Structure 1
Amino acid sequence: MTSLVIVESEAKAQTLSEQSGGVHETLLLPSAPMKVSHNPNAARLYTGETGFQFVPTEKEREFAKGLLTNLHKDIYVALESDQRGEYWSWMLSKFAFAASKGQKGIRRIHVSGFAGEELAESFRLVEPVQENAAASFYIRSLFNSCLLRHLNRLFGTVNGPGSLPLNFATLTALFLLEEREAEVGAFSGPAKWQMAAKVSTPAGAGTVRLQEAYEITDDGFFKDPVEVKKALALFEGRPLTVKGVAESDFTIEPPMPYRLAELLHDGYTILAMGPAKVLHALQKLHSGLAVDGRHTGLISAPFAVIPLQHQATLSRIRKAVSTIYGSGELIERQ
């Protein structure tokens, strides 16, 4: 029997279908699937939580019908491993649990990459939906709604310069960036100078840098322009002559994986791409592109959270307990 995998984009659905050889069917979820409401006085629901109710949105009623007709299959949620992905997974899990009267659960997978090997590994590392994190996100979304209403009342808008949304996440990021900029300004080292000259050699033109100047610098760096002028005076009226060229071998190590912050920085400084464009390109490369007529993922997910296997985690805990408290504190479960 084929299993059902819920994804949020057509590119992921096509890549998943081609990479799995049709073993997994896909169900597309492009927008929020449910409306969540909370009534602390409501009777305990089939969801196992008091007061949370999940009703399909008008836009995703067809999706909800498709989900209900496939409750007899193994269902996996392969949404992004970000806050929205966890939040939507929580909605789907609780909706299916309630619709099946507690008989059906949905499993969560964190897909690190949509190539064959990474995809197969993701299905081996399934886990329950993180209910606490998703419920906390729901509470934060309520706070964000209140914040936006107050900002609109005070300023008449919820957007800042450049149409920047003034929500909880954006304002938090702006405050952190301002603190970081102040910290860098307070503790950054002083600027230094170097001397370089273009020279011609039989092997062609090149650039040389001053490595040492007696009683001025022993590492080629100058603390201020005064030292630079002193070094220049040493060469005044004296032509430079290239007496020899020595070459030395060196190895360029393979590049390390990009961190998201570094990639956003380089995308802007090197390619003049804004953060939104960089993230959009990442999504396309992660979800899969056609290579030799077959869709495959080309990069790992920037937000992927791969759960550790249970036995490996348990082994690490037991080792830590034994190291700190002694092996006598380890008691086998009966």
Structure 2
Amino acid sequence: MGFHDPRAGRPHRVVTLALDGVYPFELGIPNRVFPLVPGAYEVLTCAATDERTVATDADFTITVGHGPEALESADTVVIPPYDLRRISPELPDEVRAALARIRPGARLVSICTGAFTLAAAGLLDGRPATTHWALADAFRRMFPAVDLDPDVLFIDDGTVLTSAGAASGVDACLHVVRSDHGSAVANRVARHCVVPPWRDGGQAQYIEQPMPEEGTAGTAATRAWALEHLDRPLALRELADHARMSQRTFARRFQEETGTSPGRWLIQQRVHRARHLLESTDLPVDRIAAEVGFATGTSLRQHLQAAIGVSPRAYRRTFRSLGAGV
């Protein structure tokens, strides 16, 4: 949280490293998301070699504006995914040399197979990380020293952020904006991109599943109802009754659709709502705890500390000061 303290004289520099076989959609995500925060970010795209010509996984090649020297001044480096046939536990010499240009302390962000590049460089050893769920087995075989979690959309481990496939690159970049400038700014960016500012659950909801039997209902309506009643205890029985299911069926269906349990999902939503209130209101912590369904201010403090590692007071102080400058 609050990774970037803007340097005097220039905005935060995001450099996207386009490797051969790059997926054009994900390559464009940083240039779509970060410029929507006026004056806060500068986005550059570079190649791993001075030639600056990069093959994509589509039927065209691209010429990017910068060579690998751009990485030397990067505050954040984004590595988009590339053709699966290029995945290897070893890095090409030119890619390794390019990564060596990144200054210590720069934030690293990978999308999908971009995590293979970070892992091959040894930058994920001993860290939690994620990648596309379909590549989890191959990733574990190649990089057993990485603590892989294929069930989440992204993982923020301080200076290293890894994300799953395709659209999770948008989630990751929005998370960077949220971490740097707060939820209100990230929400505005999400509205411009016509995407949700925060997607519920993890990758499990996108893994191929058998089609439900005709006439079976999902949990989406109950989740929407729960978001309108977060100030209430909302026990599993009440959620299941709202969905007109048994508790066992509801819990199973909920896990299948969101990738997480009802209890964990409620905590995530309550923390998310509390963060918004801390940023946008002067309400006391105890009042915010009541508004979002935590029994006490102490409970809110514990859950916020567990989720993002800071106290409510520190969070409010950080994002109030950031918001004033954006």
Q: Which TM class, normalised by the smaller chain length?
A: under 0.3
Q: Under a length normalisation based on structure 2, what TM-score does the superposition of the two structures give?
A: 0.24
Q: TM-score, normalised by structure 1?
A: 0.24
Larger radius of gyration: 1
